[in-house]
Amino acid sequence: MMPGDSVPGDVSAAEVAADPKRTYVVTHLPGDGVGPEVTDVARACVDAAAARHGFTVDWRHCGLGGQHYLATGEVLPDSVLDELRKSDAILLGAVGTPDVPPGVLERGLLLRLRFELDLYVNLRPSKLRAGVGGPALVGTGGKHEVNGLDFVIVRENTEGLYAGAGGTVHRGTEFETATEESLNTWAGVRRCVRYAAKLAARRTGRLTLVHKTNVLTHAGDLWQRIATEVAGEEGVQLGYAHVDAACLWMVEDPRRFDVIVTDNLFGDIISDLGAALTGGLGYAPSGNLNPDRTGPSVFEPVHGSAPDIAGQGLANPAGAVLSAGLMLAHLGEAAAATDLDAAIDAVLAEGAPASTGAWEQALLARLTQAGGA
Ligand code: NAD
Ligand code: IPM
Ligand code: MN
**Is residue 174, in this structure, part of any structural domain at all?**
yes
Of the three residues 224, 251, 277, the one that is the final residue of a domain is 277
Instruction: Specify whether 28 is located in the same domain as 100.
Output: yes
Residue 143 annotated among the catalytic residues of the structure: no
Residue 331 has pLDDT above 90, yes or no: yes
Using the atom order of ligand 1, give the atom closest to the CA of residue 308.
11
Instruction: Specify whether 141 is located in the same domain as 228.
Output: yes
Q: If you take atom 8 of ligand 1, which residue's CA is the nearest one?
A: 306
Of the three residues 221, 244, 277, the one that is the final residue of a domain is 277
Give, as one character, the DSSP assignment of residue 173.
S
Using the atom order of ligand 2, give the atom closest to the CA of residue 107.
7
Residue 33 has pLDDT above 70, yes or no: yes
Instruction: Specify whether 89 is located in the same domain as 144.
Output: no
Of the three residues 221, 250, 277, the one that is the final residue of a domain is 277
CATH code: domain of residue 13 = 3.40.718.10
Residue 98 has pLDDT above 50, yes or no: yes
Tell me whether residue 292 is exposed, middle or buried, using C-beta atoms within 10 angstroms of its C-beta: 0 to 12, 13 to 18, 19 or more: middle
Site to probe by mutation for ligand 1, drawn from 32, 302, 303 as the one with most ligand atoms within 8 Å of Cβ, is 303
Residue 4 has pLDDT above 60, yes or no: no
- The angle that helices 35-53 and 334-349 make with each other, rounded to 10 degrees, is 120
Nearest ligand, measured from the Cα of 307 = 1
Phi first, then psi, for residue 100 (nearest 5°) are: -120, 135
Distance 94 CA to ligand 2 centre (A): 9
The per-residue pLDDT for 9 is 47
**Is residue 161, in this structure, part of any structural domain at all?**
yes
Instruction: Specify whether 260 is located in the same domain as 140.
Output: yes
Instruction: Specify whether 13 is located in the same domain as 35.
Output: yes
- Report the side by side order of strands in the sheet with 206-211: 56-61, 23-31, 89-94, 297-301, 285-289, 121-127, 150-156, 259-262, 206-211, 237-242
Count Cβ atoms below 10 Å from residue 284 Cβ, excluding itself. 27
Distance, in Å, from the CA atom of 22 to the CA atom of 331, rounded to the nearest integer, reads 10
Q: Domain range spanning residue 228? A: 133-277
- What are the residues facing 156 on neighbouring strands? 121
Residue 5 has pLDDT above 50, yes or no: no
Residue 162 annotated among the catalytic residues of the structure: yes
Task: Assess whether the C-beta atom of 123 lies below 6 angstroms from ligand 2.
Answer: no
Distance 167 CA to ligand 3 centre (A): 22
Residue tagged active-site, from 10, 40, 253, 272: 272
Residue tagged active-site, from 24, 162, 195, 283: 162
The per-residue pLDDT for 16 is 62
Instruction: Specify whether 85 is located in the same domain as 150.
Output: no
Distance 176 CA to ligand 3 centre (A): 28
139: confidence class by pLDDT, cuts 50, 70, 90: low
Give, as one character, the DSSP assignment of residue 110.
I
Question: Cβ neighbours of residue 354 under 8 Å, at least 6 residues apart?
Answer: none
**Is residue 23, in this structure, part of any structural domain at all?**
yes
pLDDT tens for each residue of 215-274: 999 999 999 999 999 999 999 999 999 999 999 999 989 999 999 999 999 999 999 999
- Do residues 3 and 63 make contact, with C-beta atoms less than 8 angstroms apart? no
Distance, in Å, from the CA atom of 40 to the CA atom of 58, rounded to the nearest integer, reads 15
The per-residue pLDDT for 196 is 98
pTM of the predicted protein model:
0.94
Q: How far is CA 234 from the centre of its chain?
A: 24
Residue tagged active-site, from 58, 99, 244, 308: 244
Q: Of the given ranges (245-249, 336-340, 348-352), which has the lowest mean pLDDT?
A: 348-352
Instruction: Specify whether 228 is located in the same domain as 327.
Output: no
Whole-number average pLDDT of the chain: 93
Element (H, E) at 127: strand 121-127
Instruction: Specify whether 140 is located in the same domain as 64.
Output: no
Pick the residue with more confidence: 288 or 139? Answer: 288
**Is residue 124, in this structure, part of any structural domain at all?**
no
- What are the residues facing 86 on neighbouring strands? none
Ligand 1 binding site (Cβ under 6 Å of any ligand atom): 34, 38, 94-96, 106, 110, 281-282, 300, 303-309, 315-316, 319
Q: Of the given ranges (138-142, 188-192, 251-255), which has the lowest mean pLDDT?
A: 138-142
pLDDT tens for each residue of 294-315: 999 999 999 999 999 999 999 9
Instruction: Specify whether 240 is located in the same domain as 114.
Output: no
Instruction: Specify whether 171 is located in the same domain as 199.
Output: yes
Dump the DSSP string for 260-289. Answer: EEE-HHHHHHHHHHHHHHTT-GGG-EEEEE
11: confidence class by pLDDT, cuts 50, 70, 90: low
**Is residue 126, in this structure, part of any structural domain at all?**
no
Nearest ligand, measured from the Cα of 281 = 1
Distance 302 CA to ligand 3 centre (A): 6
Strand, helix or coil for residue 191: helix
Domains contained in the chain, number: 2
Instruction: Specify whether 55 is located in the same domain as 23.
Output: yes
